[in-house]
Amino acid sequence: MSNKKRSDSLALKVLSNPLGIASVSIIVAFILFGIIVPMVSPWDPNVPDIYSSLTMPSADHWFGADSAGRDVFTRLAMSTRFSLMTASVAVIVAIVCGVLTGLIAGYFGGWFDNVSNWITSIVMALPGLVVLLASITVIGPSMWFSMAIFGVLMSPAYFRLVYTTVRGVRNELYVDAARVAGLTDVRIIGRHILGVVRAPIIIQTAIVASIAIAIQSGIEFLGLGDRNTPSWGAMLNEAFMKIYDFPILLVWPSITIALISISLVIFANTVRDELERTGPRRKKVTAGKSSAQQAADDAAEQTIVHAEGAPKGKDLILEVKDLAVGYPDGAGGIKQVVHNVNLKIHKGEVVGLIGESGSGKTQTAFSVLGLLPAGGRVVAGSIQFESEELRGAAGKSYDKIRGGRISYIPQEPMSNLDPSFTIGTQLVEPMVKVLGISKKEATTRAIGLLERVGIPSPTTTMKKYPHEISGGQAQRVLIAGAVSCNPDLIIADEPTTALDVTVQAEVLDLLRELQKETNTALLLVTHNFGVVADLCDYINVMQNGRIVEAGGVVEIFKRAKHPYTQQLLNSILEGGPGRGKYVAPKGN
Amino acid sequence: MLTFIIKRIANGLLMLFAVSFLAYFLMHLGAGNVARLMLGLEATAEAVAQKNHELGLDLPFFDQYVNWLTGAVQLNLGNAWSMPDSVAAILFPRLAITLQIVSITTLVAIVVAIILGTLAAVYGGIIDRFVQFIGLLGFAVPGFLVAFFLAAVFAIQLPWFNAVGYTQFADDPYQWFRSVTLPVLALSFSGIAAASNQVRGSVKDALEMDYVRTLRARGLSFQRVVYKHVLRNAAGPALSIIGVQFVGMIGGSILIEQIFAIPGLGPVAVSSTAMSDIPTIMGLVMITAMIVIAMNLIVDLLSAALNPKVRLS
């Protein structure tokens, strides 16, 4: 029942879509054209009339007359009727063969499974047109028969669709539940599986119909269709003979075929789009708010800043002022995900940016790097790096800063290495560019770096591909890459989250050592207070896109004022007081 | 890697064998009384029996097939029924022309699709919508309609290219160019449409990969990351669609060659079909199956070569 309702609303949605209604109207119009015109037309589509041979369109002959003087409009209608009917044969045969075999193979599996896969690959080994030529050679020209064979050739499309769906659905809980409820296999298939594959079958059918029409007209054009029945392809064939003297004859069947095929494909696309739209929505960027709400919130919320613990006497390296990051909300507006963020990092300082996922901390980090995901941009505030404004900086000047002066350690080690290139290439390439050294120098340097970050055999690792090393090693490689060009600031985005607990500690130790050695400033983005306590001098706590509390590490740990900070602290401190109540973000 | 190649070649040969058996079986099952058809109604029963014997049709099916297969592995595909020549002598010279047209078309499709698809994925906007529109047209509009359009406009209205005929490159490069341009364009249209959308999709996917951001964070420029890393990773999926399109082009070339009167496999396929010339069509089926299987093998090997995970195992 709920299935029925869903498909009704899908049909409604497709019809209320402008492209959907247009394509359906064109298809329906041609069907009516094929049915009605041959009944009411005063012309016989097959009787020649030499006096009207090759006449231009007129009141008598709306689309003109062909070389034998036959009325093109009526012939086109007859052809449309014939072509649509024979194409339907292909579609019906394809559906029956494909769906039945797909259901059986998918539901019962076993030997049937392998056999049909083999047959599918044999069928795929030949172009459809060649198989049809072979069948015509043996059987002779009959479009009905050719289209039936073509239906068999197209059935793998349905087979695969039904097969994969059935395989997926089969093991789902509700089928088991139906089994427990005592339903027979046939009823399970009918109720659940056909309900799931119905919409994809509609899409596939429109596509198969357009392919069938194309191949059918092709065969008729070659003169291998039924001789005495008017068809689009036969009209094209006759018109092609007159392409020099009377090219307009080519126009009518061509436009008809093109219009119907395009309509079928647009219809299929529209159904697919609507189906995707009704499905589960994609996860959106969290913590978004409208601008008006935003202004009100800004006034209400102030960052709690602890005066003690702020570093003194050191040079400022990065200063982020009133940063706001936004994404298009899909309705012409902008949804802010980071609001009024203020952040200072001094030379050699380790600053933590802590908050739960979706709090905007990664977005803040990406805006400093100038590498926000597609659509995202800094909508307000400024980012000053060593007194240079980075907001809106040109791509080229940013390319000079990234790598050499600000570098980045990502969260997920594996996905951050290009799977198609060796570790060595990925380390050497940026060094050659940023440091301007030779490849040989860079290679030597890379081997040294790998050794420094604790990779057991650096020379062989250089020649390895990412899939050949472990996650922990990959993270060490990425850390080596981040420090390879002697940056002044490293932004580490959850550098240990994706690693095993034992490896986490090692990587943190490595980060601490490297930071001490080089006295590089480090912005550590994390959700883990444990990591922060270990490394940081100064902490910014982020919630819901804004910094709610900031202060020296001792201050935050001893005298946290914001309830969210306290909650985060409670959640990690072993042997401390019990976990506090969850504090809901403001404004939600 | 070597085991992989051997396995795939063995699989391809097995497939070819299966296709040959199936095609031979089905074509000779329905063949009916060919000798009677060839000799006409007035022929005597003895003459028909004599002809059947000549054609080897009086043998049991299995023997016929073994005879054919023994010849076929030596590239002897028997004698044609509609022409006084051997099937091999008819098909192989024409195959060279068809393969030439299809290979040029594939190359053109690959180059244009990579350029269009990458531009669409990287820059979006108008070029993106254009590529998607071409994708829709190329998918829906049959290639032979494109051929009519091209012939009517660029050969007949504007006499830039040849509407019919084929000149060997060695004879006259300029005339060769004039004769192959329109067929290649018509044949490549759907391939370009499909492949450029595939490239667009895989470049878009590759652009969203984490390593793209990381490489840029190391100081590499956007262009450099796209040309070196994104395209390299987008190549695999694009390659497989080219393989699929190639099969379609082999079929489509029959129509296109007929339209532009190019003496490839197309015209001979059409006339042999019309005259129920079973040996020639059987040869055509085997040749196309062989090309398709070989192309799939090449695509598989290339994708394996592109993917270090497969290459190294």
> Counting Cβ atoms within 10 Å, is residue A533 exposed (0-12), middle (13-18) or buried (19+)?
middle
Q: Could you tell me which residues come within 8 angstroms of residue B253 by beta carbon, excluding any fewer than 6 positions away?
A: B98, B101, B102, B105, B187, B264, B265, B266
Buried/exposed A214-225: b ≥16 CB within 10 Å, e otherwise: bbbbbbbbbbbb
Tell me what the mean pLDDT of segment A486-502 comes to.
84
Q: What is the pLDDT of residue A174?
A: 60
Find residues 262-281 of chain A whose CB sits inside 8 Å of chain B.
Answer: 262, 264-266, 269
pLDDT at B253 over 50: yes
Which runs of consecutive H residues, i.e. helices, occur in B208-277?
210-217, 222-224, 231-259, 265-274
pLDDT tier, A51 (very low <50, low <70, confident <90, very high otherwise):
low
B209 touches chain A (CB under 8 A): yes
- A467 touches B at CB < 8 Å: yes
- In chain B, % of residues over pLDDT 90: 13
| Coarse DSSP helix, strand, coil percentages of chain A, rounded to the nearest 5 percent | 55, 15, 30
* Joined tokens for residue A351: 């600053």
* Mean pLDDT value of segment B233-255: 85
A334-346 vs A316-328, strand pairing mode: antiparallel
B276 contact residues in A (CB cutoff 8 A): 137-138, 140
Give the per-residue pLDDT at B183.
92
pLDDT band per the 50, 70, 90 thresholds, residue A280: very low
Residue A320 three-state SS: strand
With an 8 Å Cβ cutoff, is B171 touching chain A? no
Predicted complex ipTM: 0.85
Q: Return all residues near B178 (Cβ < 8 A) that are at least 6 apart.
A: B160, B161, B162, B167
In terms of DSSP bridges, do strands A489-493 and A406-409 run parallel, antiparallel, or are they unpaired? parallel
Q: Which residue of A has its CA nearest to B244?
A: A124
Give the rounded percent of residues in chain A with a pLDDT score beyond 70: 81
Q: Is the pLDDT of residue B233 over 50?
A: yes
Long-range pairs for B223-231: beta carbons < 8 A, 24 or more residues apart: B224/A433, B226/B118, B226/B122, B228/A429, B229/A418, B229/A420, B229/A421, B230/B203, B230/B206, B231/B114, B231/B118, B231/B203, B231/B206
DSSP B131-178: HHHHHHHHHHS-HHHHHHHHHIIIIIISTTS-SS----TTT-HHHHHH
Q: Give the residue among B138, B237, B120 at the shortest CA–CA distance from B187.
A: B138
Contact assignment for A399 to B219 by CB distance below 8 Å: yes
pLDDT, position A175: 62
Return the residue in A23, A117, A133, A137 with the most chain B beta carbons within 10 A, the one to mutate for interface testing. A137
Contact B255 A129 (CB under 8 A): yes
Interchain contact, B15 vs A122, CB within 8 Å: yes
Supply the angle between the helices A111-124 and B2-29 in degrees, to the nearest 10: 80
Residues B5-26: tens digit of each pLDDT: 888 888 888 888 888 888 888 8
Rounded distance, CA B297 to CA B5, Å? 9
Weakest-pLDDT range from A392-406, A516-530, B202-216: A392-406
Q: For A120, which residue in chain B has the nearest alpha carbon?
A: B15
Give dist(CA A522, CA A548) in Å, integer: 21
CA–CA separation, A341 and A339 (whole Å): 6
End-to-end CA distance of chain A: 36
Task: Give mean pLDDT, residues A71-99.
Answer: 87
**Closest chain A residue to B309, measured at CA:** A467
Smallest CA–CA distance, residue B206 to chain A, in Å, is: 10
Closest by CA to A257, choosing from A79, A391, A462, A25, is A79
Note which residues in 141-170 of chain B have CB less than 8 A from chain A: 141-142, 144-145, 148-149, 151-152, 156, 163
- A411: tokens are 């969260």
The structure tokens listed for B220 are: 């590499």
Cβ atoms of A474 and A455 within 8 Å: the answer is: no
Q: How many angstroms separate the CA of residue A371 from the nearest CA in chain B?
A: 7
Q: Give how far the C-alpha of residue A488 lies from the chain's centroid of Cα atoms, to the nearest Å.
A: 36
Question: Does residue A413 contact residue A498 with C-beta atoms inside 8 Å?
Answer: yes
pLDDT band at residue A283 under the 50/70/90 scheme: very low
Q: Which two tokens stand for residue B219?
A: 């100081």
pLDDT at A89 over 90: yes
Return the ∠ at Cα B132 (arms to B131 and B137), rounded to 5°: 95
- DSSP 8-state assignment for residue A457: S
Cα(B3)–Cα(B310) distance, rounded to whole angstroms?
11
CB-CB under 8 Å, B247 with A243: no
Quick one: average pLDDT of A131-146? Answer: 84
Give the pLDDT of residue A2: 47
pLDDT tens digits, one per residue of A225-249: 877 788 888 888 887 887 777 777 7
Domains (range + CATH), chain B: 2-73 (no CATH), 87-312 (1.10.3720.10)
Q: Give the model's confidence band at A297: pLDDT under 50 very low, under 70 low, under 90 confident, else very high.
A: low
| Chain B partners within 8 Å of A404 (Cβ) | 219
What pLDDT is stored for residue B240 in this prediction?
A: 81
Q: Residue A392 and residue A377: Cα distance in Å, rounded?
A: 9
Query: Given this model, what pLDDT does residue A300 score?
Result: 52
pLDDT above 70 for A20:
yes
Q: What per-residue confidence (pLDDT) applies to A190?
A: 67
- Range from A110-119, A525-534, B138-147 carrying the lowest mean pLDDT: A110-119
Q: With beta carbons less than 8 A apart as the criterion, state whether A432 and A438 touch.
A: yes
Residue A256: pLDDT over 80: yes
Mean pLDDT (chain A) is: 79
Please count the other Cβ atoms lying within 10 Å of the Cβ belonging to residue A458: 19
- Residue A96: pLDDT over 90: yes
Average pLDDT across chain B, whole number: 85
Chain A residue numbers touching B273 (CB-CB < 8 A): 133-134, 136-137, 222, 224
A-proximal residues of B, 91-150, CB under 8 Å: 136-137, 139-142, 144-145, 148-149
And the tokens for B56? Answer: 């080897």
**B139, B232, B255 member nearest A222 (Cβ):** B255
Give A500's contacts (C-beta < 8 A, 6+ positions apart): A471, A472
For residue A576, what pLDDT is reported?
45
Asked if residue A93 has pLDDT above 50, the reply is yes
* Total number of residues shown for chain B: 313
Task: Say which range, A163-172, B70-79, B189-198, B277-286, has the weakest mean pLDDT.
Answer: A163-172
The DSSP letter of residue B86 is: B
pLDDT surpassing 70 at residue A285: no
Pick from A65-74, B32-41, B113-122: least confident: B32-41
Residues of A in contact with B30 (CB under 8 A): 138-139
Q: Which 172-201 residues of chain B touch chain A by CB within 8 A?
A: none
In the block, tokens 């499974």 appear at A113
A430 Cβ under 8 Å from any chain B Cβ: yes
Dump pLDDT digits (tens) for A181-229.
766 666 766 667 777 777 888 888 888 899 999 898 898 888 888 777 8
Tokens of A506: 């090692």
Give, for A338, the enclosing helix (H) or strand (E).
strand A334-346
Cβ-Cβ contacts under 8 Å, B257 against chain A: none
Distance from CA of B295 to the nearest CA of A (A): 10
| Average pLDDT for A549-556 | 82
* Structure-token match 């594996």, residue found: A414
Determine the distance in angstroms separating the CA of B60 from the nearest CA of chain A, rounded to an integer. Answer: 19
| Rounded mean pLDDT, A472-497 | 87
Question: Exposed, middle or buried: residue A157 (CB in 10 Å: 0-12, 13-18, 19+)?
Answer: buried
Residue partners of A372: CB distance under 8 A and separation at least 6: A325, A363, A366, A378
DSSP SS3 for A200: helix
**For residues A330 and A345, is the Cβ–Cβ distance under 8 A?**
no
How close are the terminal C-alpha atoms of chain B, in Å? Answer: 6
- How far is it, in rounded angstroms, from Cα A497 to Cα A493? 9
Q: Which residues pair with A542 in a beta bridge?
A: A547
What Å distances lie between residue A106 and A98, A100, A190, B101, B210, CA to CA? 11, 10, 14, 41, 36
Per-residue confidence band for A62, with pLDDT thresholds at 50, 70 and 90: low
Q: Could you tell me if B258 lies within 8 Å of chain A, comparing CB atoms?
A: yes
- Tally A–B CB contacts below 8 A: 216
Using an 8 Å CB-CB cutoff, list chain A residues near B285: 126, 130-131, 134
Q: Are A479 and A409 in contact (CB under 8 A)?
A: yes
Query: pLDDT band for position A282 (50/70/90)?
Result: very low
Q: Which residue of B has its CA nearest to A213?
A: B142
Strand partners, A389: A384
Residue A244 touches partner B, C-beta closer than 8 Å? yes
Burial level of B141, CB count in 10 A (0-12/13-18/19+)?
buried
Report helix, strand or coil for A15: helix
For residue range B285-311, list pLDDT tens digits in order. Answer: 999 999 988 888 888 888 888 877 776
Query: What per-residue string of b and e applies to A79-104 under the rule 16 or more CB within 10 Å gives b?
Result: bbbbbbebbebbbebbbebbbebbbb
Tokens representing residue B78 in the block: 């028997």
For A430, the closest of B31, B218, B288 (CB atoms) is B218
476-495 in A: which are within 8 Å (CB) of B? 478, 481-482, 484-485
Mean pLDDT of B263-273: 89
Shortest distance, CA B154 to any CA of chain A (angstroms): 13
